[in-house]
Structure 1
Amino acid sequence: MRTYLQIVSAAAICFATSTFAASAADPVTVVGWGGTWDKAYKDGVWDKYTEQTGTPIVMEEWGGEVAKVRAQVQAGNITYDVVSVEAPAMEVGCAEGLFVPLTPEITGDAANYLPGTLHECGVASDTWATILAYNTDVYKGDAAPKSWADFWNVEKFPGKRGLYQQAQFTLENALMADGVKREDMYKVLGTPEGVDRAFAMLDKIKPHAVWWSTTTQGIQNLDSGEVALSDGFNARITNEVINEKKPYAIAWDAGFFYGTDYWAVVKGAPHQQGGLDLLKWFSIPENQAGFSKLYAYGTGRKEAADLIPADWKANLPTSPEHLQHGASYDNDFWTEHKEALEERFKAWLAK
C-alpha cells in the first residue's frame, strides 16, 4: 500500500505541474449543494487543487435543477463549468447533450469504481445513503430497532416516526419492511403488484408518520422529540452525533440503499477544458478521499476508502463493514418511473 500511495502521489504532482500549468490563470466555476457539503469540498479538495495547479475555483450552490443548465446552453450564456447533479438529472442531461462525455483518460478504469458511481458523463461527487436512525435515549441496547420491519412495528416501537416525503427512497424502505431483499427490490418494484405492495405498507405506517421534506426539518423532528426514529441521510445524522453531541445512532444492519451525485462538465462551458482537467485530477484516489475525510459520504473509487482513517471510515456508507448491508439505487428504474410514482405518492399522501 505504501508503494501504491507513493506512486499515486508522484503521479498527482507530475500531473499537476505539467497538465495544468498552461491554464493555471483561468478560474473554474464549480456548482455544488452548499452549506457544510460545499465547505468540505473547499477544505478537502478545491483548496488543494488550487495549491497544486494555481487554478482558482469559484464556488456556487444550487438545488440541482438541470433546467438551469438547459436554459444556459439554449441561451448561449453558460456561466457554470462543473456541476454536481443527482442521478436522474444526470441521465436527462447526458441524453440531451448538456454534459461532456467522460473518457477513461479522465476517470480512470471503470472497474475501480463502486457500482453506480461512474456515468458516461459524470464521476461521483458523493455517495450517500438513506438509513434508519433512532434516538439512543429512547431505544437502548437490545431494545433498539434493528430492521425496517422494526421501524414499521408500531406495537413494539410505539410513537411517531419520521419519513421522507417522496416516493423514491420511501418505497424501497417500505418493501424492505415487508421482507423484500435488496437484490430483488427492483424486480418487485418494477411490477404493478410490487408497487401496490409498497403502498399497502405505507397505508400501515401513515397514521404514525411525521413527514419531512428537508434534512433540517427531519433533524428538527428528532431534536424536538416528536419522533424517536426516522429515515434520513447518513451524513446529517453523523454530523449531529459528532459535532452536536446528539443521542442518535444509525442502524446500518437494517439495510440501506445508496445513491450517487455526479460531477459533470457543462458542454460549451467557458472553461470546459479546465473542468475536464479538474475532474481528471479529482479522479485520482487521494484527491477523491479529501472530501470523504471531512464529510460522511463515500467516494466513487474503491481505492480511496483505503486513504480514509479507520475511525472515520466507519461513518461512511461505502465502508466495507456497511456496504455488505447496502445496495445501489437503480438509476435506470427511477429515470423511467419517477414521475409516475411520485404522482401516485402525492395523490396517496393527500387522501
Structure 2
Amino acid sequence: MHWHTVDHNKDDHPRGRLVHRGWWLSDLPRLMLLCRFRGHRPVVGGVGSVTRDGIGYVSRWVECDRCGVRPEPQGNLNPAVREIGQPYTGPWIGPTRMLAAYAAMSFLGLKEPPVHQDDVDKPGPWPESPRGGIGGEIVVGRAAGGLSVEVKVGNQGSEQVLAASLHLGPLLALYFHTERFGQWVQRRLNPTGHDSRVIELGFDHWHLVWELWARRGEWSRDDPWWMHGNVSFDLVEKFFGPKRYSYEDAVPVPARGTVTMPEGDQHEVELRLRRERYGRPRLRRRARLSWSAEWAVQKGSRGIPYRSDGNYHGEEIWSSSVPISDEAVNAGTWQTAALAQIVQQMSDLRARYDYYPKENV
C-alpha cells in the first residue's frame, strides 16, 4: 500500500485559490470475496467485432466475469470464433509449466517468461493477489464555475474504472476515481467498446445541461434526443438572442503581399480585411467590434512551414487570421500591419517547434 499527495498550488497558484491538492492510494488488495470463496468465472473479454469485411482492430482475451481480473498471461483468442461474454472453459497453460517458465525467466534474465510452443495464445493461471487503487482531487476557491455532478463508468481499457466529480461553483470542486476497483460494475453496465459513459447534471451561465449515459466527450446526430440536453433560463438571451461572432468583408477585392520570415523564406499571400462583431443579434448597438485580416497562401503555392523535427519536417499552414488595430485600418496601413502580424504568428510557432530551414537538415 502506497500513499501519495501533490500540492498543485506550488506550480499554479491563482489568486483566491486556497487548496488544490491531489491524492492517490495505490497497491491496495482487492477483496473479491465471492471469487475467493467460489472461484473466478472465466469469460471471453475483448474489443472490436468481426464484420463481413473481415477482421479489423479486434482482440480477445480471458477475464473473470465478476471481478474483471485477467489471468497471466491473459491469452490471445481467435475473435472469429470467440464472442465477448462467452464462457471460457479452456484450454489453459498448466501451473507447472508457468512455474518452469518463471524460473527460466529468472535464471536467464529474460524480460518475459518463455512460453512453450504448445501454450502459445493460451491463458495462464489467475493472479494470487490482484491490486488496485483509488485517487482524487480537491479544489477550494477559484474552482471551475457552475454547479454540476458527474458519474463516469469506464470501458475495457480505462485506467480509471469508475469516476465521479462535484462542482459547487467557484467555492469547491471534488474529484474521485478508482483503478481496478469497480470492474464488476463496469462489466455489468459497459462491457464492450472503447467509449466510457457519463451521467451528468449541471447548471452554469443560466443553462441547465445534462448527459444521460452519453459517450464521454462525444456527440453524434444519431444519439437519441434524451441523451444530451441544454435548456436556457437566460431571459436576456431569450429576448435578444445568444452572443455569437459574425464577420463581414471590409474590402471587395483581396489584397496581396509578401511574407518575409526571419529565416529568409518568402511567401505570397492574399489578405482579406474583415469586420468582426461579437454580440447579440437584437442588440447590435452593444456589440463589440474589431478588425481582423484573413490570410491564405496563393493557389498553387506551398504553405508556410513551421515544424522540422523528425518525421514532421515540412508541416505547413496555408491559411489563418490575425488581429488588426483600429489605428492601422484608419491610417490605411492594415496590409503592412497584417504582414507583420503573420510574421510574428509564424515565428511564434517556429520557436515552439524548434524550426530550422530545410537546407540546414
The structure with the larger Rg is: 2
Higher fraction of helix: 1
Bin of the TM-score, shorter chain as denominator length = under 0.3
Higher relative contact order (CA 8 A, sep 6+): 1
State TM-score, norm by structure 1.
0.23
State TM-score, norm by structure 2.
0.23
